[in-house]
């Protein structure tokens, strides 16, 4: 045990003549260095907190204002219009101060107040500027004069060298759309999916809702938007994620893959050592707020709130609802290998373990031949099964004793690491290698990932790695941001020796990782087995297909002066129709992080224009010119829908919140019930790449990731994640269920490929957009 190792350095013996105290110099040095590191960390966090707190001003600007006010005392000009003199007269204990002291103190107080006022004024002006979204609706490659002026003003008020959280106080709040606009857009979105009778019925329900209950619900929602920083996000997290009682494995969690073509080392312990060290570096910068904020156009800032919970975060099960537990300053990691849980300290002597030291520790775990304790092998299956049995077991069997200590160690760890025992990764020579890799990351064996942790890092024997992430605390771009940093740091900054080991000296004096101890009774083991069996049914039902589309990519699509996302979404609509013979309600995720605490909004991609284009593609009598015209119209419509969603004028989050308000008030709404019960048979999402631009993929084209994916949302539908990688590659991650007789992921992947090529054969690049 690490604790026992440390205790050796502190010994005492009671003698008749006193106490003989022995202190180890090494232990004292370690304690001293730990204390110094902790204080340095606090000092840096305090400094960066101040810098972010006064942004877009700076602490030095306070000194400038004070000096200016002090100078006015000597040139006998009063820029305060008498306020400094009034402060002098009302200072407490002014009789004990000289006239000059009162004047100086009053000038400093006034200067400080003026400085704070200017900070809030600058923030308000920046917030007002950021509330303008006209730029996003302009044609690609064209920028109006007003937008150029606006962009210059944003740059001017944004200050220099912002930290991660510098813009948080300046971000606008997510606006509440008008009920009329939302209902109009909703009816427009379902029109191509309903026959005339069904549409007339839905229109009557919508109009009845608008004329009767909508105004009351909308008032409460507007009040919430004034009171909170975001009227959607807290309810979205609670009701969409945390209150769900079904398993989160496959149904909620998502995965992200390693580099597609490159494996920096084939040594499992070494790769894990570098990746974990890179994650610790990322966490240190995150805690200090030193990452640069993401900005659209290099100027418009994105909300960074979700990044706060990347590390030290766990979803805690409850009977009715789960909670997200976020801790600070966690210094250990829990590692799972062949049914055993190990606790590994990440610090020594007040610093992070070096990559070579981490490699040594991981190799010790890999070399450990001890057997799992009773019930330990499949313990993590509790996090893969239904939430209520897990919550009940946690209270009954893990509320005290060694089980509580060990469970606390897992839930308070920085993150969770699985040293897997089966190699995975993309192999061009193996047809199903990408499919197997994705399923391993998504669900594994159902008991070798801790699905409740913010993320589980998975390390394979052949040197490949990947991530399984819990979804409630953040969305995929947040984990992707961290993952890009880690992969770039691993390959281009840390590196490996010629033998594939981590660089640096080997420190064999570190205490060995310690086994977590469990006393799991037979009754609990039965619950574990039940959870495992239910999770295995879900995992075995996942039909996954990964597809690498090499024929063309973003480069050719942009030459068409068409949005790559719109191009792919129209291809998905064509593929869906060819696969199922009907159109369906389609979900595409769009971000709303230009607003404070923003997360996502839904783009309903199956529009009337998209349906018309697909029918023309399937109509042998349609000419190429007709198809091109319909493609243009559908692409423009999709782009407009996407932009509306990004700027707070989407459909589904507004209706979702109206529905929740109706439930709180006990108001029955057939319209909202109907809307919220509609199935999304095609759920799609684009995972962004190159958020950090740490790797020039034109120079290093092999250093690209295949992105990630998620499980199917509907029992009889498809889940499709696509990643636009560089200029010439698009990856598709397609999931469905074997139990559905109507779906087949491999077949759908072929339909997507054919649809992409068929649209490209229209010679879209020759069409004047």
Beta strands in 40-88 (DSSP E): none
pLDDT at 433 > cutoff 90: yes
Residue with tokens 């209270």: 395
Mean pLDDT, residues 315-338 taken together: 95
pLDDT at 755 > cutoff 50: yes
Burial environment of residue 370 by CB neighbours within 10 A (0 to 12, 13 to 18, 19 or more): exposed
Among 34-48, 213-227, 258-272, 299-313, name the one with the lowest average pLDDT.
34-48
DSSP codes, 740-754? -TT--HHHHHHHHHH
Query: pLDDT > 70: what percent of the chain?
Result: 92
The reported pLDDT for the residue numbered 5 is 43
Max intra-chain CA distance, the chain: 108
Residue with tokens 């942009």: 558
Mean pLDDT, residues 134-162 taken together: 86
For residue 88, what pLDDT band results from cuts at 50, 70 and 90? Answer: confident
| Predicted TM-score of the model (pTM) | 0.90
User: Mapping DSSP to helix (H, G, I), strand (E, B) and coil, where does residue 5 land?
Assistant: helix
The reported pLDDT for the residue numbered 37 is 61
Q: Which residues contact 266 (CB under 8 A, 6 or more apart)?
A: 462, 463, 500
HEC-encoded secondary structure of 611-629: HHHHHHHHCCCCCHHHHHH
pLDDT tens-place string over residues 11-52: 555 556 655 555 566 556 666 665 666 666 677 767 667 777
Marked catalytic residue, from 277, 352, 471, 638? 471
Q: Report yes or no: 417 and 453 within 8 Å, Cβ to Cβ.
A: no
Q: Report yes or no: 601 and 590 within 8 Å, Cβ to Cβ.
A: yes
Q: Which long-range contacts (CB under 8 A, 24 or more apart) does 760-768 make?
A: 760/551, 760/552, 760/556, 762/624, 762/627, 762/628, 762/631, 763/624, 763/628, 764/560, 764/562, 764/567, 764/628, 764/631, 765/556, 765/559, 765/560, 767/560, 767/628, 767/631, 767/632
More confident residue, 30 or 382: 382
Q: Report yes or no: 338 and 379 within 8 Å, Cβ to Cβ.
A: no
471 is catalytic: yes
**Mean pLDDT of the residues in the chain:** 90
Helix axes 355-367, 268-288, angle to 10 degrees: 130
pLDDT tens-place string over residues 464-517: 999 999 999 999 999 999 999 999 999 999 999 999 999 998 888 899 999 999
For residue 84, what pLDDT band results from cuts at 50, 70 and 90? Answer: confident
pLDDT tens-place string over residues 651-698: 999 999 999 999 999 999 999 999 999 999 999 999 888 888 888 888
For residue 3, what pLDDT band results from cuts at 50, 70 and 90? Answer: very low
How many other C-beta atoms can be found within 10 angstroms of the C-beta atom of residue 732? 27
What are phi and psi for residue 591, nearest 5 degrees? -90, 150
Mean pLDDT, residues 308-332 taken together: 94
In the structure, how many helices (H) and strands (E) does the chain have? 24, 22
Between CA 712 and CA 543 the distance in angstroms is 9
Helix axes 99-130, 145-157, angle to 10 degrees: 150
Burial environment of residue 526 by CB neighbours within 10 A (0 to 12, 13 to 18, 19 or more): exposed
Mean pLDDT, residues 431-457 taken together: 96
Between CA 649 and CA 721 the distance in angstroms is 24
Local structure of residue 200 (DSSP, 8 states): H
User: Mapping DSSP to helix (H, G, I), strand (E, B) and coil, where does residue 127 land?
Assistant: helix
pLDDT at 169 > cutoff 50: yes
For residue 95, what pLDDT band results from cuts at 50, 70 and 90? Answer: low
Mean pLDDT, residues 87-114 taken together: 76
Q: Report yes or no: 618 and 630 within 8 Å, Cβ to Cβ.
A: no
Strands 347-348 and 340-345: unpaired
Cis, bond preceding 177 (omega within 30 deg of 0): no
Among 108-117, 269-278, 740-749, name the one with the lowest average pLDDT.
108-117
How far, CA to CA in Å, does 714 sit from each of 604, 633, 723? 16, 29, 22
Between CA 330 and CA 320 the distance in angstroms is 28
């Amino acid at each position: 045990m690490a604790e026992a190792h440390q205790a050796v350095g502190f010994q005492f013996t009671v003698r008749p003549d006193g106490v003989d105290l022995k202190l180890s110099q090494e232990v004292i040095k370690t304690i001293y260095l730990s204390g110094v590191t902790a204080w340095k960390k606090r000092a840096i966090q305090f400094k960066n907190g101040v810098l972010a707190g006064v942004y877009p001003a700076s602490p030095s600007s306070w000194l400038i204002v004070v000096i200016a006010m002090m100078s006015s005392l000597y040139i006998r000009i009063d820029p305060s219009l008498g306020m400094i003199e009034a402060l002098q007269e009302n200072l407490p204990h002014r009789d004990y101060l000289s006239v000059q002291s009162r004047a100086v103190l009053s000038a400093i107080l006034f200067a400080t107040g003026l400085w704070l006022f200017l900070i809030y004024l600058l923030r308000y002006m920046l917030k007002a500027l950021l509330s303008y979204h006209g730029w996003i609706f302009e044609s690609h490659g064209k920028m109006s004069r007003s937008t150029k002026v606006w962009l210059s003003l944003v740059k001017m008020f944004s200050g220099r060298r912002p930290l991660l959280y510098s813009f948080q106080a300046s971000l606008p709040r997510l606006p509440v759309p008008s009920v009329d606009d939302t209902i109009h857009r909703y009816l427009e979105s379902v029109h191509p999916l309903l026959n005339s009778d069904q549409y007339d019925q839905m229109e009557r329900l919508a109009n009845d809702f608008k004329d009767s209950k909508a105004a009351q619900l909308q008032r409460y929602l507007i009040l919430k938007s004034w009171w909170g920083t975001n009227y959607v996000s807290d309810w979205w997290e609670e009701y969409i994620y945390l209150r769900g009682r079904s398993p989160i494995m496959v149904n909620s969690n998502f995965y992200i893959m390693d580099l597609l073509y490159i494996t920096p080392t084939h040594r499992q312990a070494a790769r894990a050592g570098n990746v974990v060290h890179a994650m610790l570096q990322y966490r240190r910068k995150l805690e200090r707020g030193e990452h640069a904020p993401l900005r659209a156009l290099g100027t418009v800032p994105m909300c960074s709130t979700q990044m706060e919970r990347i590390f030290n975060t766990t979803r805690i099960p409850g009977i009715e609802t789960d909670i997200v537990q976020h801790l600070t300053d966690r210094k250990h990691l829990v590692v799972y290998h062949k049914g055993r849980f190990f606790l590994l300290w990440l610090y020594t002597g007040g610093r992070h373990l070096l990559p070579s030291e981490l490699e040594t520790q991981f190799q010790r775990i890999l070399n450990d031949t001890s057997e799992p304790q009773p019930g330990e092998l499949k313990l993590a299956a509790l996090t893969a099964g239904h939430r209520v049995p897990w919550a009940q077991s946690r209270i009954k069997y893990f509320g005290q004793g060694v089980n509580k200590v060990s469970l606390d160690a897992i839930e308070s760890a920085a993150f969770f690491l699985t040293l897997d025992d089966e190699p995975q990764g993309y192999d061009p020579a193996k047809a199903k290698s990408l499919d197997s890799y994705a399923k391993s990351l998504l669900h594994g064996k159902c008991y070798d990932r801790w699905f409740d942790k913010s993320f589980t890092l998975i390390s394979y024997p052949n040197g490949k790695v990947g991530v399984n992430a819990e979804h409630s605390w953040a969305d995929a771009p947040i984990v992707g941001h961290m993952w890009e940093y880690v992969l770039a740091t691993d390959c281009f900054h840390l590196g490996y020796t010629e033998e594939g080991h981590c660089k640096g000296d080997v420190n064999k004096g570190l205490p060995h990782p310690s086994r977590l101890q469990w006393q799991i009774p037979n009754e609990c083991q039965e619950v574990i087995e039940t959870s495992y069996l239910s999770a295995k049914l879900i995992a075995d039902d996942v039909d996954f297909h990964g597809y690498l589309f090499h024929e063309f990519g973003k480069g050719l699509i942009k030459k068409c002066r068409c949005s790559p996302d719109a191009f792919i979404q129209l291809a998905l609509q064509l593929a869906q129709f060819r696969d199922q013979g009907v159109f369906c309600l389609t979900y595409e995720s769009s971000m709303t992080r230009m607003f404070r605490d923003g997360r996502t909004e839904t783009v309903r991609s199956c529009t009337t224009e998209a349906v018309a284009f697909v029918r023309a593609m399937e109509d042998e009598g349609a000419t190429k010119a007709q198809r091109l015209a319909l493609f243009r119209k559908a692409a423009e419509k999709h782009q407009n829908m996407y932009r509306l969603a990004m700027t707070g004028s989407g459909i589904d989050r507004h209706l979702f919140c109206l529905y929740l308000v109706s439930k709180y008030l006990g108001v029955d709404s057939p319209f909202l019930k109907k809307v919220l019960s509609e199935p999304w048979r095609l759920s799609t999402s684009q995972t962004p790449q190159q958020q950090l631009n740490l790797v020039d993929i034109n120079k290093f084209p092999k250093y690209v990731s295949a992105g990630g994916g998620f499980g199917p949302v509907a029992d009889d539908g498809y889940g499709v994640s696509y990643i636009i990688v560089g200029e010439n590659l698009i990856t598709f991650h397609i999931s469905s269920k074997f139990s559905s007789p109507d779906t087949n992921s491999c077949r759908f992947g072929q339909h997507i490929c054919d649809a992409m090529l068929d649209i490209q054969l229209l010679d879209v690049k020759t069409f004047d957009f």
